Amino acid sequence: MEKVDEIIEKYRSEKSHNIPILQDINDEYRYLPEEALNRISEKLGVPLSELYSLATFYKCFSLSPRGEHEVYVCMGTACHVRGAPRILYNISEKLQVKPGETTEDGKYTLETVNCLGACARGPLVMMDEKYFGLLNVAKIDKMLEGYYEQNNN
């Protein structure tokens, strides 16, 4: 928990320190480990319930380990009518996970979102903060193959 202690110390002087601390810990571990939340509560005197409230309210936080690559499939209206359910099904089959799950090897986490803000490019997927728009099954295969090649060599 040495890294957690360093993060806590970094923000100790700030009044509204809980969210930045959680963000840094989430970035470091790719989720918020229970031990880290207990440590923050203990060191700063913040009720554990308050930390869990923040961790479950904000979508950017996770209480379970996340994959190295996060795949977000937009299911908003524009993307949905342009084939987002097929895209989601295809990605789910390729990665062998359901939305909200992480692959066994810890490489990918699949999520759905209500909107990615680029409706004209739907159906849309965001992977590692990169947008892939106007997708179809063939483009999804190519997108995933590119990631597999980059990350499995």
Q: Are residues 40 and 75 in the same domain?
A: no
pLDDT at 153: 40
Q: Are residues 73 and 50 in the same domain?
A: no
Q: 64 lies in a domain?
A: no
Q: 47 lies in a domain?
A: yes
Q: Are residues 84 and 115 in the same domain?
A: yes
**Rounded Cα gap, residues 62 and 87, in angstroms:** 24
Is residue 9's pLDDT more than 60? yes
pLDDT at 16: 79
Domain boundaries, position 14 = 2-57
Q: Are residues 10 and 52 in the same domain?
A: yes
pLDDT in tens, 16-58: 789 999 999 999 999 999 999 999 999 999 999 999 999 999 9
pLDDT at 146: 67
pLDDT in tens, 128-152: 889 999 999 889 888 887 665 444 4
| DSSP H helices in 58-136 | 77-81, 84-95
pLDDT at 13: 73
User: CA–CA distance from 56 to each of 15, 51, 52, 135 (Å)?
Assistant: 21, 9, 6, 31
The count of structural domains within the chain is 2
pLDDT in tens, 61-104: 999 999 999 999 999 999 999 999 999 999 999 999 999 999 99
